[in-house]
């Protein structure tokens, strides 16, 4: 379906005709001429008739250019078929730990040993892709917490900026309390009427930095209705080479503060999950999908494509063509005059 945003622009269509009627005509240019015997004079007379035809042809080209310009000014738009969109009203913030301990390679992706952040990126990206209809934001935290992406419906941007994050970007330590406080501030500022507020926080350690205690931040989150799902990531046992030779088993998640993470989730009405490997992390995000289901299509949306550039381009092309003709006319006259003078001298 084609519509015009400013249909009143068509009132300007008769403007050139009105200008021609109101303004006085320009004085016709008088040129002196000398007729000489021969066939040249007949050629000159014939050329005048062709010139009159050319003027009429130029008139129609100029008229078409003006009509296209007015059509472009009316802002034509094409409305596509109606699409169903999911609108949940939910504000969903992801907080991802980028502290130094996230470089521990105790996860696997495709039979390849990878660090915790790489596994988190892969699983969280799939999770983001499924959250159609939610406004999603991204917080990256380490020694400090930073808002990487404000709440948006643009899931591709959130995924891209998550994949571009790297360990140590926000410092080597872990400020869980600051991350929760920042999420509370940003989500609550953009809260929609009746919309749900959810924070999914992933970390592999304990709160070792920041200005706000995690439990104090959880109290603030509970007051504004922010539900927090916490995820503790990291294997419980891996084999490493011993100094005396051979191999020994160690716990790479010894610093994980599960008690605090559990308490944060309980205080806000969420849940705590433990991700010991990639499969468990995938299951956790699928479970969050079940706990916070996406909405069914509720609203209709018609994609709109602006078309004003097409008639505008056509008008510019015709105007440029007319300008070239105007520049070429004096050259043609000069050449014709030169030929006449040469014929006169020859006669």
Cβ–Cβ < 8 Å for 202, 96: yes
Q: Return the residue matching tokens 């468990």.
A: 280
At residue 248, the pLDDT reads: 61
Q: Which residue in the block uniquely carries the two structure tokens 């030929």? A: 339
By three-state DSSP, how is residue 271 classified?
coil
Phi–psi pair at 95, nearest 5 degrees: -120, 120
pLDDT of residue 39: 44
The confidence score (pLDDT) of residue 328 equals 73
Token look-up 């070429």 returns 328
Q: What is the pLDDT of residue 245?
A: 61
Grouped pLDDT means (10 residues each) for the chain, 347 residues = 86 85 63 47 46 64 88 86 60 92 87 90 91 89 93 92 90 92 86 75 91 94 93 80 62 85 95 90 88 63 80 88 78 67 58
Give me 22's structure tokens. 């109101």
Phi/psi-derived region of residue 110, left when phi > 0, alpha when psi is between -120 and 50, beta in every other case: left
Burial readout 158-167 (b: 16 or more C-beta within 10 A, e: otherwise) = bbeebeebeb
Query: Which residue reads 């051979």 in tokens?
Result: 246
Q: Give the model's pLDDT for residue 117.
A: 92
Give the integer Cα–Cα distance in Å for 200 and 270: 9
């Amino acid at each position: 379906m084609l519509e015009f945003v400013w249909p009143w622009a068509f009132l300007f269509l008769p403007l050139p005709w009105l200008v021609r009627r109101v303004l006085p005509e320009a004085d016709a240019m008088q040129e002196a001429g000398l007729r000489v015997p021969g066939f040249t004079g007949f050629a000159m007379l014939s050329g005048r008739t062709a010139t009159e035809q050319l003027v009429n042809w130029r008139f129609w080209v100029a008229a078409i250019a003006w009509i296209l310009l007015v059509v472009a000014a009316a802002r034509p738009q094409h409305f596509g078929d109606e699409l169903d969109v999911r609108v949940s009203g939910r504000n969903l913030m992801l907080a991802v730990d980028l502290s130094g301990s996230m470089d521990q390679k105790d996860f696997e992706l495709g039979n390849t040993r990878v660090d915790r952040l790489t596994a988190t990126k892969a699983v969280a990206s799939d999770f983001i892709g499924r959250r159609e209809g939610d406004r999603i934001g991204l917080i990256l935290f380490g020694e400090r917490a930073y808002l990487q992406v404000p709440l948006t419906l643009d899931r591709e941007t959130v995924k891209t900026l998550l994949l571009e994050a790297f360990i140590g970007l926000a410092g080597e330590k872990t400020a869980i309390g600051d991350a929760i406080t920042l999420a509370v501030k940003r989500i609550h500022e953009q809260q929609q009427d009746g919309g749900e507020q959810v924070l999914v926080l992933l970390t592999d350690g304990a709160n070792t930095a920041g200005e706000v205690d995690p439990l104090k931040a959880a109290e603030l989150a509970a007051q504004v209705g922010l539900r927090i799902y916490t995820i503790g990531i990291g294997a419980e046992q891996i084999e490493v080479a011993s100094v005396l030779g051979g191999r020994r088993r160690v716990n790479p998640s010894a610093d994980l503060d599960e008690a605090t993470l559990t308490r944060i989730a309980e205080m806000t009405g969420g849940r705590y999950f433990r991700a010991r490997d990639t499969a468990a992390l995938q299951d956790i995000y699928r479970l969050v999908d079940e706990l916070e289901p996406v909405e069914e299509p509720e609203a209709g949306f018609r994609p709109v494509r602006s078309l004003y550039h097409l008639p505008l381009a056509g008008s510019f092309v015709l105007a440029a063509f007319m300008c070239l003709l105007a520049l070429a006319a004096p050259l043609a006259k000069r050449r014709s005059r030169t030929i006449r003078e040469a014929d006169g001298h020859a006669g």
